[in-house]
Amino acid sequence: MDKLPVGDKRLESILIGSDKIQQRVEELACQIRDDYGVMTPLCIIGALKGATIFITDLVRTLSRVGKQEMTLAFLRASAYGDVVRTGDSVGMRKVNIDMLGAKITAKHILVVDDILDQGFTLSGICAKLTELYPEANIKTCVLLKKELANPSEEIKALRGSINPDYVGFKVQDRWVVGYGLDAKEMYRELPYIALADEKAFD
Ligand code: IMP
Ligand code: MG
């Protein structure tokens, strides 16, 4: 049974429980296995640090459902730094991508991130990978996709240009934590996704 941290008023409620996440990870893994094929070499590259919990569950589930020929890599994409975004404020436009020495040889690359919010991170990662590996077939997978409440024209256009191939869950336009996602570096360890009170992290 999932429980919010005792006495911590900065989290409001559990949005997606751990059982529901595990069930969805399994569904995504089966879909990915079927789309690529068991024996097609596939590099799965995760964005640190948010995607770490999701990607480690995803690759083990992929293995369990029979996918073979996978390699695992990580990159670091920093967009927000230590900021908890509220409402329709815009995150940092410039996303810094550090490949952390990863050398990808597979023709098929699956980028895994925790959440698609305004879109700077995923578009930055895809642009960098396309520049480095122009011949590769690049697809994207996010655990969460935020439904933006009041996006600017710029953000609307950016989000319109990104359509992740695999999405775990759609979430409302609030700051969420857990299962790898943080607020000021906290709560990544929670096995569920919880709603944070943004005002508590000003
Ligand atoms: P984007 O570039 O605006 O799409 O933001 C995506 C990145 O910001 C993700 O990789 C996360 O690291 C972080 N992020 C965005 N929204 C949230 C959230 O609600 N909780 C935790 N991290 C978030
Ligand atoms: Mg991130």
Residue 190 resides in a domain: no
- The response to whether residue 117 sits with its C-beta less than 6 Å from ligand 1 reads yes
Whether residue 49 has a cis bond before it, omega within 30° of 0: yes
Q: Is the pTM of this model over 0.85?
A: yes
In angstroms, the CA 74 to CA 112 distance is 9
Using alpha carbons, list the distances in angstroms from residue 116 to 45, 65, 84, 190: 16, 26, 15, 19
Residue 3 resides in a domain: no
Catalytic residues: 117
Amino acid (1-letter code) at residue 148:
L
Residue 162 resides in a domain: yes
Which numbered ligand comes closest to the C-alpha of 124?
A: 1
What are the pLDDT digits (tens) for 109-160? 999 999 999 999 999 999 999 999 999 999 999 999 999 999 999 999 999 9
In angstroms, the CA 190 to CA 173 distance is 20
What are the pLDDT digits (tens) for 157-191? 999 999 999 999 999 999 999 999 999 999 999 99
Counting the structural domains of the chain, the total is: 1
What domain range is 51 assigned to? 19-172
Residue 6 resides in a domain: no
In angstroms, the CA 200 to CA 202 distance is 6
Buried b / exposed e across 161-187, counting CB within 10 Å, b at 16+? Answer: ebebebbbbebebbbbbbbbbbbeeeb
Residue 7 resides in a domain: no
Closest by CA to 57, choosing from 192, 185, 157, 153, is 192
| Closest approach atom of ligand 1 to CA 182 | 21
Residue 122 resides in a domain: yes
Residue 14 resides in a domain: no
Query: Which CATH number covers residue 111?
Result: 3.40.50.2020
pLDDT at 79 over 80: no
Pocket test for ligand 1, best of 94, 114, 154 (most atoms within 8 A of CB): 114
Distance from residue 76's CA to the centre of ligand 2 (Å): 8
